Structure 1
Amino acid sequence: METRLLLGDEAIAQGAIDAGVSGVYAYPGTPSTEIMEYVQLSKAAAERNIHRKWSANEKTAMEAALGMSYAGKRALVCFKHVGLNVAADPFVNAGVTGVNGGLIVLVADDPSMHSSQNEQDSRYYAAFAHVPCLEPSNQQEAYDMMAVGFELSEKVNAPVLMRVTTRMAHSRAGVTIVDSPKAQNAMSLPKDLRQFVLLPAIARKNYKGLLAMQAAMEEASDNSKYCALELRKQGGVGIVTTGIARNYLAEVLGNEPHEYSILKVTQYPLPRKMVSAIYNHCRELIVMEEGAPFVEELLRGYMDNGKPIHGRLDGTLPRDGELNPNLVAKAIGRDIPEGEAIPSLVAGRPPSLCVGCGHRDVYEALNNVMAEIGPGRVFADIGCYTLGALPPFNAINTCVDMGASITMAKGAADAGLVPSVAMIGDSTFTHSGMTGLLDAVNEKSPITVIISDNSTTGMTGGQDSSATGHLFEICKGLGVDPAHIRTFVPLKKNLQEAMDILREELAYPGVSVVIPQRECVQTYARKQRAKKAAKTAEAKEE
């Protein structure tokens, strides 16, 4: 067998390829982006004709994956935790429709909010939808669980949510690859052609079937070879770990003898037999899990018979942020060496827009114009341009979720804050800004929408943007007066032109769209390097 050094994301991607996946659907979002990128670059994926194009947003990705499952083939859909909010409607309903081909929903959570708006824990979504959840504790398990997840999905007739976190997604380890990848499923229609028709009468029947499968899902967790129970001292302390938290505990304990009983959980619903065994064997439990106190809350419900259960809820571990070996050591009463405090003279270096970025010129023009009107009127969105909230620009006033810039600007205008400005990127606009613009058009809202078009999804590394080459026609099709769809090239030499356009459109008492258009400096540089390399290769051949 071959062994490769892979990121957790890459292990998931390779695992899906080797498990017979026919389609991968995703929208880029850290820390999940590298899964699709790996599949797109995979020679094996190309040879197998695996679908591997970016979707316009997470909802469309989820629905397309469900469509592939309907046709009997295995599908993987990938996004970060807040992307699951966007896909929540089809995800929850997919539990009720069931599946035909296996369907895995890979969600990458971001504890400590390294690049996210919140710390939500996707395991709650799995419980809410009554579907199984897998949580690998290392890269090898991440690879192996792709095959396990597809088989489980087809066995219990439900999508399977696989949850990883930032450290799992973005750390590397050796992964052993199978010699013989599984063949893709043949296309086949569901045996019941009404299975996916969620009319109330059918949905009620399907839902009863989903509830009836809960016992089988729990049994699958109890029988999982990745869940492990090690009982030691009778009446001692028991530790319940999940996912990557098991690694932190292993680092703290090392190879020294200890008396802790340990339950490693990698699959949900919780393996109730194992949970009962460790609870009955120990005098108290400590729950160590990355994210919210999901397991801790379940244990307090399952096993609340007077024995103490410690974790994030009682302060044994912090309520927010990532775990680490030091926090785990403190939780079991071990002393840890404290390093010197970082001196105050060491200044933090917040992220900033790239030198030469077109967003910089947009913000310079916008700030100059807004200084004439007044502060607190610029509603922004998720993307590179969100960095306009920081010095030296300090240009935006909100950033809540994908697409919220336009709808919040509209709501503020409804409240009387006129003019209001929405600042959104091209990829985010086609992700979830178009419907907000339609609302504004329908109500003739006095807002100006700036779609800062750099022809890519820049924040996550330069993936393809669904908007490239389509923005003017999309806005026109949504009903924006073409006379008020304005474009300019954001460069220093065009500053006055940009300011004049913004002033004119801010004065217009209706919906106007301004589209600054200049390619991302990073993707442009990447293309130039590729062209140079190609020319060099041609010259060598000659």
Structure 2
Amino acid sequence: MNKLLLLGAEAIALGALDAGISGVYAYPGTPSTEITEFIQRDPTAREKGVRSSWSANEKTAYEAALGMSYTGKRALVCMKHVGLNVAADAFINSAITGVNGGLVLAVADDPSMHSSQNEQDSRVYGKFAMVPVLEPASQQELYDAMSFSFDLSESLGLPVMIRLTTRLSHSRAGVERQEPREQNPVGSLPSSDRYVLMPHNARKQYDLLLDMQPVLEERSEQSWLNRLIPGSGKTGVLAFGIAWNYVMEVRQTYGLKWPVLKISQYPPPRKQIKALFDSCDTILVAEEGYPVYEELLRGYFDNSAVRGRLDGTLPRAGELSADNIRSALGITEKKGLPIPSIMVNRPPELCKGCGHRDMFDALNAVMKTFAHCQVFSDIGCYTLGALPPFNAIHTCVDMGASITMAKGAADAGLHPAVAVIGDSTFAHSGMTGLLDAINDRASLTVIIADNDTTAMTGGQQSSATGSRIVSLCMGLGVDEAHIRTIIPLKTHLEKNIAVLNEELNYAGVSVVIAQRECIEAAAKKKRQQAAKP
């Protein structure tokens, strides 16, 4: 089949496979998860031995992909936008070492925060690292850009970032498939002067990276991803990435003729942009996310000529839309009758029968006996414990923050200091916080909600569950007598309350593992078993 109906995330996955990758490295995070899942399901990927297991976190994923690249093989690494915060150290430094085999970082941003803590723009990281960034505008462009980006990575010796957003990642379109290429052979590492970032090497490599910037800009000037749609009039539009779709929808709907410069490869093509500014009095800058290039262009050109997010012409936060673009261009449209409210929006909630419900019932019962009822939580399904009827948790900042924030509160004298974290998040970035607590002999109770999966992103394999969590906690130095396991069921409520009460009153580090399989994962497993012949 040469033409397939694919999600944007799946187009990246198939494009990477056809570009000859030898491995994909990722930690699940919406809206990037489907990239790795597609590769895990693909029979050809299994036949060719493409490595596709989940990594413990985004930093380990990026570093492993970098190691594969150093051997000459092609590697894909995937994450959501906030995951790049975790991988930033390796990503920024890999731009200085450079790469050997092609290394492509696919980052899925989440404007409007559909399932995220913020809507940060990964293009800022790409600009910071001074590497090429591609922002395709369609599923076909995503697919085609994968082969292009791996070739670009190898020709420049640099990692390449591909940025997509939720709307593109999770929408479908037809994709024309090209002939796949074979994987690269394993080769020896190039000179250690390049890859050992001691200061005298790093300075030389950094100078080389700076010297390459004009080359990157010239590549962008020539890129098939950047092109002008000619037109007439004194208003022009700079459309970045997915915003190009909204701009062209308005242009076609209203029969407009103004010129549009589509930009999907960075650093931006300065000559093409200057030509547009020279031919127009006003430029609307349409970019999904932060006003990254609008701000830059205001410094280059007459500030009064630039319109966009910074001056309120387009909304400062959230996703763009065709309506935003239409309004920004001064096109008024008669509004119809308002749509009546049929039903009140229903907030998200924990699944019926979820073990987290029984865990929070027990925790709430114990916390009521203390003067301070503050619980530090983390990112996962259990974060919904902040909502009624539980109202059981009071913070959620970033992956792994529950334990370290609870430790800080314990250092300040709060008692009890309680952290709630999931099994996958504990493996991702909770263990180091627990080690800090042990080293400082903090008075802290960590509740690990172990549902045997990474449930929030669809039930991917967790890096640590069950007895492995016990072993990890013991290895870090938690007293075995204060590593307790409870089964969060209504029939165990009184027993669970007793265990939690004992550990919350203990003047030291204790861990309570609330262990019960996710009901959705269990049901899925049962369906799969029933489907077997």
Task: Indicate whether the TM-score tops 0.5.
Answer: yes
Q: State whether residues 372 and 414 of structure 2, in contact with CA within 8 Å, keep that contact through their aligned partners in structure 1.
A: no
Pick from 323, 330, 335 the counterpart of residue 333 of structure 1.
330
Amino acid at match of 1:424: I
What is residue 228 of structure 2 aligned with on the other side? 229
What is residue 272 of structure 1 aligned with on the other side? 270
3-state DSSP of counterpart to 2:31: coil
Q: Deviations over 1:320-370 (max 9, x none)?
A: 000111111101111234354465673211111011111000000001111
Q: In 2 relative to 1, CA 359–209 (structure 1 residues): closer, same or farther, beyond 3 Å?
A: same
Match runs of 1:39-438 below 5 Å: 39-178=39-178, 180-233=179-232, 236-254=234-252, 257-302=255-300, 304-305=301-302, 307-341=304-338, 346-438=343-435
Amino acid at match of 2:445: T
Amino acid at match of 1:505: E
After superposing on structure 2, the runs of 4+ consecutive aligned residues of structure 1 that deviate more than 6 Å are: none
What is residue 525 of structure 2 aligned with on the other side? 527
Q: Deviations over 1:294-319 (max 9, x none)?
A: 120121123x2355100000000000
Paired residue total: 532
Q: State whether residues 326 and 336 of structure 1, in contact with CA within 8 Å, keep that contact through their aligned partners in structure 2.
A: no
What is residue 3 of structure 2 aligned with on the other side? 3
Q: State whether residues 132 and 161 of structure 1, in contact with CA within 8 Å, keep that contact through their aligned partners in structure 2.
A: yes
What is residue 488 of structure 2 aligned with on the other side? 490
Q: In 2 relative to 1, CA 510–221 (structure 1 residues): closer, same or farther, beyond 3 Å?
A: same
What is residue 24 of structure 1 aligned with on the other side? 24
Larger displacement relative to structure 2 (181-190 or 321-330): 181-190
3-state DSSP of counterpart to 2:23: strand
Q: Deviations over 1:56-83 (max 9, x none)?
A: 0000000000000011111110000000
Distance of 1:146 and 1:331 partners within structure 2: 33
Larger displacement relative to structure 2 (187-196 or 138-147): 187-196
Q: Deviations over 1:273-292 (max 9, x none)?
A: 11111011111100011100
3-state DSSP of counterpart to 1:87: helix
What is residue 477 of structure 1 aligned with on the other side? 475
Q: In 2 relative to 1, CA 414–340 (structure 1 residues): closer, same or farther, beyond 3 Å?
A: farther
TM-score scaled by length of structure 1: 0.96
Amino acid at match of 2:384: L
TM-score scaled by length of structure 2: 0.98
Unaligned runs of 5+ in 2: none
| 1:493 CA drift (Å) | 0.2
Q: State whether residues 372 and 416 of structure 2, in contact with CA within 8 Å, keep that contact through their aligned partners in structure 1.
A: no
| 1:521 CA drift (Å) | 0.4
Q: State whether residues 27 and 58 of structure 2, in contact with CA within 8 Å, keep that contact through their aligned partners in structure 1.
A: yes
Larger displacement relative to structure 2 (331-340 or 16-25): 331-340
Distance of 2:143 and 2:323 partners within structure 1: 28
Q: Deviations over 1:411-433 (max 9, x none)?
A: 01111111110000000000000
Q: In 2 relative to 1, CA 308–66 (structure 1 residues): closer, same or farther, beyond 3 Å?
A: same
3-state DSSP of counterpart to 1:373: coil
| 1:232 CA drift (Å) | 2.2
Q: State whether residues 372 and 415 of structure 2, in contact with CA within 8 Å, keep that contact through their aligned partners in structure 1.
A: no
Q: State whether residues 422 and 449 of structure 1, in contact with CA within 8 Å, keep that contact through their aligned partners in structure 2.
A: yes
Distance of 1:34 and 1:337 partners within structure 2: 40
Q: Deviations over 1:366-412 (max 9, x none)?
A: 01111111344200000000000111111100000000000000001
| 1:486 CA drift (Å) | 0.2
3-state DSSP of counterpart to 1:372: coil
| 1:230 CA drift (Å) | 2.6
3-state DSSP of counterpart to 2:529: helix
Distance of 1:297 and 1:413 partners within structure 2: 43
Q: Deviations over 1:160-195 (max 9, x none)?
A: 1110000010000000001x2011111112332332
What is residue 13 of structure 2 aligned with on the other side? 13
Distance of 1:308 and 1:255 partners within structure 2: 25
Q: State whether residues 231 and 281 of structure 1, in contact with CA within 8 Å, keep that contact through their aligned partners in structure 2.
A: no
| 1:120 CA drift (Å) | 0.3
3-state DSSP of counterpart to 1:487: strand
What is residue 516 of structure 2 aligned with on the other side? 518
Q: State whether residues 231 and 278 of structure 1, in contact with CA within 8 Å, keep that contact through their aligned partners in structure 2.
A: no
Distance of 1:390 and 1:261 partners within structure 2: 49
Distance of 1:45 and 1:151 partners within structure 2: 20
Q: Deviations over 1:114-139 (max 9, x none)?
A: 00000100000000001110000000
3-state DSSP of counterpart to 2:3: strand
Q: In 2 relative to 1, CA 339–63 (structure 1 residues): closer, same or farther, beyond 3 Å?
A: farther
Alpha-carbon RMSD across the aligned residues, in angstroms, is 1.3
Distance of 2:470 and 2:59 partners within structure 1: 24
3-state DSSP of counterpart to 1:24: strand
Q: State whether residues 241 and 287 of structure 2, in contact with CA within 8 Å, keep that contact through their aligned partners in structure 1.
A: yes
Amino acid at match of 1:446: S
Q: Deviations over 1:218-257 (max 9, x none)?
A: 11111111111133226x1010001111111122222654
Q: In 2 relative to 1, CA 225–177 (structure 1 residues): closer, same or farther, beyond 3 Å?
A: same
Distance of 2:497 and 2:431 partners within structure 1: 25
Distance of 2:253 and 2:499 partners within structure 1: 68
Distance of 1:344 and 1:398 partners within structure 2: 32
Distance of 1:183 and 1:416 partners within structure 2: 60
Distance of 1:508 and 1:336 partners within structure 2: 66
Q: State whether residues 21 and 50 of structure 1, in contact with CA within 8 Å, keep that contact through their aligned partners in structure 2.
A: yes
Distance of 1:336 and 1:104 partners within structure 2: 43
Q: State whether residues 283 and 307 of structure 1, in contact with CA within 8 Å, keep that contact through their aligned partners in structure 2.
A: no
Q: In 2 relative to 1, CA 520–437 (structure 1 residues): closer, same or farther, beyond 3 Å?
A: same
Amino acid at match of 2:375: V
Distance of 2:475 and 2:445 partners within structure 1: 17
| 1:213 CA drift (Å) | 0.8
Q: In 2 relative to 1, CA 422–505 (structure 1 residues): closer, same or farther, beyond 3 Å?
A: same
Distance of 1:16 and 1:375 partners within structure 2: 52
Q: State whether residues 121 and 291 of structure 1, in contact with CA within 8 Å, keep that contact through their aligned partners in structure 2.
A: yes
